[in-house]
Amino acid sequence: MPPSTIKSKKRTRQSAGPKPVIKRAKMNNGYKVTLDELDWKEVSMPDRLDDVEGFYGLDEIDGVDVQVDGGGRAEYKVNNLAKVGKGAGKNGKGKGKGKEEKEGVSNEDEWEGINSDEDPGKEVISKKVQREKKKKATPTKSEKRQKKDKRSKSRDSELGGSFALLSDEDEDIFLPAWDSLNLSLPTLRALSKLNFNTPTPIQSSAIPEIIAGHDLIGKASTGSGKTLAFGIPILEHYLSCPRKSSKTNGGKEEGDKLPIALILSPTRELAHQLHAHLKALAAYAPDMSIVSVTGGLSLQKQLRQLTERDGADVIVATPGRLWEVVSEGQGWIAKLRRGLKFLVVDEADRLLQEGHFKEVEEVVNLIGRRDAESDSESEGGGGVDQDEYFKRNSVKRESQVQVTERQTLVFSATFHKGLQQKLAGKGGKKGLGGDLMGEKESMEYLLKKLKFKDKAPKFIDANPAGQLAERLKEGIIECGAMEKDLYLYYLLLRYPSKTLVFTNSIASVKRLSPLLANLSLPAHPLHSKMIQKARLRSLERFSSPTSPHSILIATDVAARGLDIQNVDLIIHYHLPRTADTYVHRSGRTARGADARGVSILLCSPDEVIGVRRLVAKVHDPESLSTARYAMRSFDADRRLVTRLKRRVELAKKIADCHIEKAKKGHEDEWLKAAAEDLGVEYDSDDFTGDGGGGGSGAAAGKRGKGRQKRRETAATATKTEVASWRAELTALLKEKVNAGFSTKYLTAGNVNLAQALVNGEGMSAEFLGLEERRVVDEVGG
């Protein structure tokens, strides 16, 4: 191998003076050799490494010592003669010079020094050539950048302008677990940035099917990554296909771009979250426009957003607001019909439940499907009064626009295991926690409700054994109906953590939020009667990573789909009304790869039967018959609870007082206005009396009367009384509550509840022991 061509990563064959004669001498500790005699090996490069930094085509060798003699000349020495003898082969380099040299190696031991007959000029030239070659092979930084820009630009046009954003860090993307899905660089880049190193089971099974063009029904437990299971294929489609425009002029695309995907969500909060999640995924597809269309915010603003930046590519919508948008007659029906490649129904069982489906059905009918187009117009929308809509000329005109070929994707954590039928009151004995509505029935149900492209959409059940996250611990605290506030406070104080408390009524949210605030706990309310901005504000505050112990008091508006990081504890202040609500509420914790979480039911004695039914519905019958029983009794420290009693009483009184005064003020104003209208004089005493307080009606009996009395006391409490309660409470809150035998102090505690439960803390005997399990069998039927 001529020295000019030699470069090595490990030991580079540098110019070692004039070309040595092939001779060797046995030395003390090895054989002297020349460079060309060595058995050089080509450096193998990884297949995908295109920028080789000048190392391409190098040879290397090991096991050779280099020594510099007194005259500054290099000498090469091997211990093992097997290293030599193959000579300078390939292209005049190293290998395979053949027999002649091999023989030379085996026979020649004697070192005769270096032959200096070589032309020194040749050496100078070869050094120069070597430098030049190296320079060529090792691009400068600016050359590298230019090369990358060029490469990026050429792919950029293919992939939607996203490569411009790619940086040197791309070389660090290492996501082998995603390899088989063959995703584009912008998608991988986003996954790498999100630190999603491995696809979840629903992602690895659903993504290839969707990319292959199938309709799909996907079921996977809460928090298992369903959003990206449909989000990634949508992004891949966006990156790989040129977008169509809303108008064509002689075959030329003109006007706004058409949306490619419509994602329907049952709640506003979930829609906003899906929007944020998809945006994070599309971080390296900066031109992709994702717009959320939900109630509670300005319709005009949302209409504007839909046409900004050349038009929306992906629309995340609640069905009601979407209907308002299409009714505006700005050509949205036609755009959706022509553009949509994907219709996604997220939290499908909720959206498709009787009573909720009408709006979805209206949307589905209007955006139609190519081969069902004539059906959709003639069948009258399956009971929907389409005439009313079609009276609007624009809607009718738009509805005749041809529909593009589209995939329908349906996702939920629950539509297996018979939940819908049980919820609809059709559950019978035969289905104890089992499969009343199995795969076949689920499919029939959905096929009936949605217009799929495929006759048999793919059904993927990523968690056939259950809907609840694997790392979820479930517990129950039995307490008196009137003690729930106290036990709630105990849990929140004893186990400070990010906690979501679910109630069954807006009134309870309104009552509990100030009560907990009086107890100096950071509680935020969330219910459907709050204005949208306040809803989002509460969610933001609760979600903030800087408030690891924040509390959200919510109705079931927060039960579905919300993905808030690091929620540790779910407390069901009221028993969920349905089994699927329990699954979805509890699914707000233990989300994502390794997350753990705890779900605790506060259960009064008259709710125990309901809990048993619930357990039977959501847990596999097999788990009921094994020792690993799912729902256990949580053993609260009753002495501590007792010590907290006075605090809760005071906080309650103060909260009730504020609520009642605010209500009274409101009522007074209303009555004053009514009296003025009637032309009579208003005297508040004339308008107060027994039985006027709403409450829960006569059936509430004693409890209703007690509540009424408390309200009256609260409403009539003087400022001084309230001030004295507040002073007493402040003093109590400053005191540390000694946790009895334990040395822990509640207010200083920072116990990881999930860990505590895993360690067995707080757990007594199984909630439903053998005896109880028999009852489950009887009841759960």
- Return residues touching ligand ATP (CB under 6 A): 196, 198-200, 203, 220, 222-228, 413, 561, 563, 587, 591-593
Closest CB to ligand ATP among residues 345, 488: 345
Local structure of residue 271 (DSSP, 8 states): H
The residue among 513 and 586 lying less far from ligand ATP, judged by its C-beta, is 586
Task: Tell the smallest beta-carbon distance from residue 453 to ligand ATP (Å).
Answer: 23
Report the residue number, 564 or 602, with the smaller CB distance to ligand ATP. 564
> What's the rounded Cα separation, in Å, for the pair 253 and 270?
34
Taking alpha carbons only, the member of 388, 350, 344 closest to residue 367 is 344
Say if CB 263 and CB 344 are below 8 A apart.
yes
Between residues 563 and 607, which has the closer beta carbon with respect to ligand ATP?
Answer: 563
Ramachandran class of 740: left when φ > 0, alpha when ψ lies in -120 to 50, beta otherwise: left
Per DSSP, the three-state class of 706 is helix
Query: For the chain, percent helix, then strand, then coil, each to nearest 5?
Result: 50, 15, 40
Residue 34's SS3 state is: coil
Q: Which is nearer to ligand ATP, 229 or 326 (CB)?
A: 229
CB of 156 to ligand ATP, least distance (A): 27
**Which residue number, 198 or 742, has a Cβ lying nearer to ligand ATP?**
198
**Which of 176, 689 has the CB closer to ligand ATP?**
176
Q: Residue 72 CB, nearest distance to ligand ATP (Å)? A: 58
Report the residue number, 220 or 344, with the smaller CB distance to ligand ATP. Answer: 220
| DSSP assignment of 494-525 | HS-S-EEEE-S-HHHHHHHHHHHHHTT--EEE
Residue 551 bridge partners (DSSP): 499, 523
Strand partners, 600: 475, 571
Answer yes or no: are the C-beta atoms of 275 and 288 closer than 8 Å.
no
Instruction: State the nearest-atom distance from the C-beta of 733 to ligand ATP, in Å.
Output: 35
> 225 or 319, CB closer to ligand ATP?
225
The distance of closest approach from Cβ of residue 182 to ligand ATP in the complex, given in angstroms and rounded to an integer, is: 16
Closer to ligand ATP by CB, 30 or 199: give it: 199
* Closest approach of ligand ATP to the CB of residue 561, in Å: 4
Min separation Cβ 583 and ligand ATP, Å: 9
Closest to 4 in 3D by CA, of 93, 69, 74 = 93
Least distance CB 216 / ligand ATP (angstroms):
14
Q: How far apart are CA 198 and CA 200, in angstroms?
A: 6
CB of 183 to ligand ATP, least distance (A): 12
d(CA 615, CA 624): 9
Rounded Cα distance, 240 and 254, in Å: 20
CB of 227 to ligand ATP, least distance (A): 3
Residue 414 Cβ, how far from ligand ATP at the closest point, in Å?
A: 8
Rounded to 5 degrees, φ, ψ at 218 are -120, 130
Please say whether the beta carbons of 421 and 353 come within 8 A: no
262, β-bridge pairs: 315, 343
The strand pairing partners of 412, in sequence order, are: 219
Contact 538, 525 (CB under 8 A): yes
**Matching residue, tokens 């005064």:** 661
Distance CA 479, CA 488 (A): 10
200 versus 633: smaller Cβ distance to ligand ATP: 200
Cα-flanking dihedrals φ and ψ of residue 718, to 5°? -85, 165
CA distance to 20, 181, 228, 594, per residue, from 170 (Å): 45, 18, 21, 26
Nearer to ligand ATP, 33 or 413 (CB): 413
With tokens 């409470």, the residue in question is 729
User: In this complex, which beta carbon is closest to ligand ATP, that of residue 587 or of residue 597?
Assistant: 587
* 58: its two tokens: 């190098």
Give me the least distance between CB of 194 and ligand ATP, in Å please: 7
> Considering beta carbons, is residue 13 or 585 the nearer one to ligand ATP?
585
Instruction: Provide the token pair at 280.
Output: 């994070």
Within its chain, how far is the Cα of 537 from the centroid?
20
CB 582 to ligand ATP: min, Å: 13
Both tokens of residue 321? 């607001």
| CA atoms of 666 and 713, how far apart (whole Å) | 18
Reported in sequence order, the residue ranges of 413-503 that DSSP labels E, i.e. its strands, are 458-461, 472-478, 499-502
Minimum separation from the CB atom of position 480 to ligand ATP (A): 32
DSSP bridge pairs for 68: 74
Q: What is the DSSP letter of 429?
A: G
Gyration radius (Cα) of the chain, Å: 37
CA proximity to 335, closest of 372, 367, 375:
367
C-beta of 227 vs 538, nearer to ligand ATP: 227
Residue 203 CB, shortest distance to ligand ATP, in Å, is 6
